[in-house]
Amino acid sequence: MTAVQRDPVLVARVMLTVAGLALLWPAIELAEFDPRQLFAAGNLQTMGRFLSTFFPMALGADFLGLVLRSTLETLALATAGTALAIVLALPLAMAVSESLSISRVGPARRVWVGRLLRAPLRALLIFMRSIPEIVWALLFVRAVGLGPAAGVLAIAINYAGMLGKVYFEIFEAGDTRPARAVLETGGGRVHAFFYGVLPVALPELVSYSVYRWECAIRASVVMGFVGAGGLGQQMELSMRMLEGGEVSTMLVAFFALVMLADALSALLRKALT
Amino acid sequence: MNLTLEALHLVLPGGHRALAGMLLDVSRGERIAVIGPSGAGKTSLLRVLGTALRPSSGKLAISGVDPWSLPAGALRHLRSRIGLIHQAPPLPPRQRLVTAVLAGRLGAWGFVKGLASLAYPADIDGARAALARLDLADRLFDRCDRLSGGQLQRVGVARVLYQKPDLLLADEPVSSLDPQLADQTVGELHREARARGVTLVASLHAVDLALKWFPRVVGLRDGAVAFDRPPVRVTDAMLRDLYATETPVIPVQGVEPLQRPEPGPRATRRGAPPLCR
Q: Residue A184: which of B50, B93, B114 has the nearest Cβ?
A: B50
Partners of B54 on chain A (C-beta within 8 Å) are 106-109
Residue, of A52 and B141, whose pLDDT is higher: B141
- Residue B123, Ramachandran bin (φ over 0: left; ψ between -120 and 50: alpha; else beta): beta
Q: Residue A191: which of B53, B88, B106 has the nearest Cβ?
A: B106
Is residue B189, in this structure, part of any structural domain at all? no
Domains contained in chain B, number: 2
For residue A273, how many other CB atoms are within 10 A of its CB?
9
Q: Residue A194: which of B81, B107, B118 has the nearest Cβ?
A: B118
Q: What's residue B257's pLDDT?
A: 65
Partners of B111 on chain A (C-beta within 8 Å) are 188, 190-191
Q: How confident is the model at residue B165 (pLDDT cuts 50, 70, 90)?
A: very high
Reply yes or no on whether the pLDDT at A102 is more than 80. yes
Q: A203 and A100: one domain? A: yes
For chain B positions 213-272, those within 8 Å of chain A (CB to CB) are none
Q: B72 and B12: one domain? A: yes
Q: B207 and B150: one domain? A: no
CA distance B11 to B56: 6
Q: What's residue A3's pLDDT?
A: 60
- Find all residues with CB under 8 Å of A27, minimum gap 6, and list them: none
Per-residue pLDDT tens digits for A63-92: 889 889 888 888 898 999 999 999 999 999
Cβ density class A125-152: b for 16+ within 10 Å, e for less: beebbeeebbebbbebbeeeeebbbbbb
- Cβ distance B92 to A187 less than 8 Å, yes or no, reads no
CA distance A162 to A169: 11
CA distance A51 to A159: 32
Is residue A121, in this structure, part of any structural domain at all? yes
Domains contained in chain A, number: 2
Is residue B24, in this structure, part of any structural domain at all? yes
Residue, of A40 and A193, whose pLDDT is higher: A193
Q: What's residue A2's pLDDT?
A: 56
Q: A84 and A181: one domain? A: yes
Q: B241 and B260: one domain? A: yes
Q: A136 and A14: one domain? A: no
pTM: 0.81
Q: A38 and A80: one domain? A: no
CA distance A187 to B82: 12
CA distance A147 to B26: 71
Q: How far apart are the first and last CA of chain B?
A: 19
Q: How confident is the model at residue B8 (pLDDT cuts 50, 70, 90)?
A: very high
For residue B118, how many other CB atoms are within 10 A of its CB?
16
Reply yes or no on whether the pLDDT at A150 is more than 60. yes
Q: A140 and A30: one domain? A: no
Q: What's residue B223's pLDDT?
A: 93
- When pLDDT is averaged across residues A198-212 and rounded to a whole number, the result is 89
Nearest-CA distance B250 → chain A (Å): 30
For residue B224, how many other CB atoms are within 10 A of its CB?
16
Is residue A1, in this structure, part of any structural domain at all? no
What range does the domain containing B13 cover? Answer: 1-81+199-270
Q: A123 and A237: one domain? A: yes
Q: How confident is the model at residue B274 (pLDDT cuts 50, 70, 90)?
A: very low
- CATH number assigned to the domain comprising residue B129: 3.40.50.300
Q: What's residue B146's pLDDT?
A: 93
On whether any CB of chain A is under 8 Å from the CB of B206, the answer is no
Q: How confident is the model at residue B268 (pLDDT cuts 50, 70, 90)?
A: very low
Q: What's residue A36's pLDDT?
A: 79
ipTM over 0.85: yes
What range does the domain containing A217 cover? Answer: 58-272
CA atoms within 13 Å, Cβ hemisphere of B156: 30
Per-residue pLDDT tens digits for B58-114: 999 999 999 999 998 999 999 999 999 999 999 999 999 999 999 999 999 989 999
Q: How confident is the model at residue B266 (pLDDT cuts 50, 70, 90)?
A: very low
Is residue B115, in this structure, part of any structural domain at all? yes
Q: Is B112 helix (H, G, I), strand (E, B) or coil?
A: helix
Is residue A3, in this structure, part of any structural domain at all? no
